[in-house]
Chains A and B, each alone.
Chain A
Amino acid sequence: MKYYRNTAASLGLCSCHVCGLVSRIGAETGGARCPRCATRLHTRKPHGVEQCWALLIAAYILYLPANLMTIMETGSLISYRKDTILSGVVHLWQNGSMGIAVIVFIASIVVPLFKLLTLTWLLISVQKRSTRHPAERTRLYRLIELVGRWSMLDIYVVTLLAALVQMQSLATVKAGPGAIAFGAVVVLTMFAAMRFDPRLIWDPLQKES
């Protein structure tokens, strides 16, 4: 793995987030603006770590109700059941839809949890100015950015069913409070991932050199 000694920041350069123009910002403590589009320039996402932590903690908190509370209520002529994510997975598995059960399990339980844990590790490592496995960490970050939106699968299913299956007493599907919490978890982790600045992973390496 090649470690580049200099970063743009160490050279006093900064690229615009919006138009991509690279400009020199020097060492001033004050703010700087893009000379082309006048967008505020930052060498690193401002308060990125702090905001990422805040979003992450909120996501952690909401992760509990998302998994403990009912995500979907299905009522039909002969039965009425309330499902949490996990009970739904178990139900699907028991009824033979093992493939779907695995998909739901991965998309709804593994991925959000993976995202939360990964972001936590990234943040801690960045704050500790760890120099170990920067490339792997970056890859992880890319991965969580990629899969982030797919954990909304559950919410898509619930919202679709709730909208479509409304046959009064014959069959009804309602979204439970868990769905809101789950959706919030997914959105919060997506924002947290966005607020995380992957360049911070590489900063300690540059300083060390």
Chain B
Amino acid sequence: MSDTHPPPELEIIPAAIVDKHHRRASHLIWLLPAIAALIGLSLAITSYLNRGPVITITFMSGEGIESGKTKIKYKDVQIGEVKSVTISKDRSHVVVTAEFKKDAEGLLMKDTRFWVVRPRISGGTVSGLGTLMGGSYIGMDVGTSKDSQLEFTGLEDPPVVTMDEPGTQFKLHAEDIGSLNVKSPVFFRRMQVGEVIAYELDRDGKGVTVTVFIRKPYARFVKANTLFWHASGIDFTMDANGVRVNSESMVSLLLGGITLQTPDDKADAGPAPANSVFTLFTTREEALKRIDSIVETYLLVFKESVRGLAIGAPVDLRGVTVGEVSRISVDLDTRKKRFVMPVEVKFYPERLRASYHTKSSLPGRRNSRKLINALVSNGMRAQIRSGSLLTGQLYIALDFFPKAAPARVNWAQDPPEFPTILGNMEQFQTMLMQIVQKLDKLPLEEISGDARQTLQSLSETLKNADRLLKNVDTTIVPETRLMLEDARKTLKEADKALAGARQTLSADAPLQKDLRDALREVSRAAQSLRVLGDFLERHPEALISGKKEDGR
């Protein structure tokens, strides 16, 4: 027990049992903070390592973007989150700071694009409906560049085509945008194969460049000679061919659209490379018209009115369009003091050649001149003709007028002047005038006097003729009757004679009988002669010795 005695008042308290096993102080408890530190450290390290890149995106407006709430999604998978939304220093735009997940690092390329996904209703499509409930989010499209970047400028509208979508972009030059818009469809055989993804005014302001995207399997149908034209709206044309209303599908009626077509060509060109530039024609006709690679411009100087001749009016060669009117003007011929109408036409000499001609045999420009010269010397002229009486539209016809005054193509001029001839109507009018003039010159009074005299003498002549006929009636006709009676008598005689002859020749006539008897006698005599002949053949000696008696 203890050496020191407890105070007496504590004697009643029992003494504790002495424990021999001294328990050593345990320091194991310090493992706990060590483990905690380890856990904390590991958490810190992993969170540091997992911390993705932080980027800034500038937008024009922060509509629908909330810090800490708006997600950044790629292919609808959340890969980041908006941390803060602030206004830029110059207050012109909104700066969005966003943190990405660690594995999204490789997605932040120089040409990666960001845009805010909001519900959109445009034309034929509705998109981003999910954001109505879930709130807007920032969509992204990963670029193909190798360089990464942490500062981006956001797009105001979602891109039509994402980078990883397989397909090819092409550029189209057009005079105006028409009713096209971003996302307007591109049709090939009335099937949608792509979309308009961008358009911009040319730098010189003289046209519009439309960028279209053709999806992968269809992009190979775009050849170097492919034609593009507006498929937008209703095409109402009134020209020399009459009135026509043409419309594309309802979607393109509403949205506008582009149709592409590759002309059937023997020389099958390979697919056009990406970003090739094409011309966007306004109509299908225009597009198909311009497949000619060689275009020659000629000047046709007409003397008559060109009212009703429109730009674009066809130049027609016996029903085949070989060119079109490109410019109409008026010119004062100072020497002759009159107005002439110079009309510029585009002429497609290729159309003069049959399609089975191979390309190599296509004549060059010089040969083309030779050909035109030959044609002109053969009488080929341009002439204004009326295409349709209904619309009064005119067209220019090329045809051969062998009687036309000789003319030559003036090659020195630019554009060369092609000889013309007065139009049908004009010709008709001048001819009519000439006839009228000639008629005017005719001595009609005298002619009518002469004619009257002639008519009088003619009536006399007719009277004489009448008389003559009456004479014939009274004298010649009875005589003729007598003559006919005589003839009948003669015929009767002849009949009788013939009957006699028939009697003579009949089978039981005596002459016949006699003749038959005589002939029988002759045949008997001939028989005897044959017997004699036979006998003599067998007994030729009988001629000398005479006939021996039989049986001797």
Interface residues of A (CB under 8 A from B): 11-14, 21-36, 38, 40-41, 46-47, 50-51, 54-55, 57-59, 61-62, 64-65, 69, 77-81, 87, 177, 181, 184, 188
B36 and A57 contacting across the interface, CB-CB below 8 Å: yes
A contact residues around B18 at 8 Å (CB): 28, 30-33
**A residues near B133, Cβ cutoff 8 Å:** 77-78
Chain A interface secondary structure, helix, strand, loop or mixed?
Answer: mixed
Partner of A65, one of B2, B26, B43: B43
Q: How large is the interface on B (under 10, 10 to 19, 20 to 34, 35 or more residues)?
A: 35 or more
Residue B15, interface by CB 8 Å? yes
Task: For the complex, give the distance between the alpha carbons of A46 and B22 in Å.
Answer: 12
Query: What residues of chain B have their CB less than 8 Å away from a CB belonging to chain A?
Result: 1-4, 6-7, 10, 13-23, 25-27, 29-30, 32-33, 35-37, 39-40, 43-44, 47, 68-69, 71, 78, 133-135
Contact A58 B35 (CB under 8 A): yes
Q: Is the CB of A61 within 8 A of B135?
A: no
Q: How far is the CA of A87 from the CA of B26 in the complex (A)?
A: 41
* Chain B residues near A21 (CB-CB < 8 A): 14
Q: Contacts A24-B16, A57-B33 given; 5 further ones with Cβ under 8 A?
A: A30-B20, A38-B17, A46-B25, A65-B44, A78-B134
Q: How far is the CA of A78 from the CA of B69 in the complex (A)?
A: 12
The reply to whether A11 and B10 form a contact with Cβ atoms under 8 Å apart is yes
A23 with B43, Cβ < 8 A, contacts A30-B20, A30-B22, A31-B19 known = no
Contact of A27 among B2, B30, B36, B68 (CB under 8 A): B2
Option from A26, A32, A59 in Cβ contact (under 8 Å) with B36: A59
Residues in B with CB closer than 8 Å to A40 are 19, 23
**Nearest CB on B from A17, distance (A):** 13
From A11, A31, A80, B22 is in contact (CB under 8 Å) with A31
Instruction: Indicate whether A11 sits within 8 Å of B19 (C-beta atoms), given known contacts A26-B2, A65-B40, A79-B135.
Output: no
A79 to chain B, nearest CB (A): 7
Contacts of A62 in B (CB 8 A): 36, 39-40
Tell me how far the C-beta of B422 lies from the nearest C-beta in chain A, rounded to whole angstroms. 81
For the complex of A and B, 7 pairs with smallest distance between CB atoms: A26-B2, A31-B19, A58-B36, A32-B16, A58-B33, A57-B33, A33-B17
In angstroms, Cα B7 to Cα A61, docked, is: 49
Q: Which residues of B contact A57 (CB under 8 A)?
A: 33, 36-37
Is B14 touching A24 in the complex (CB atoms < 8 A)? yes
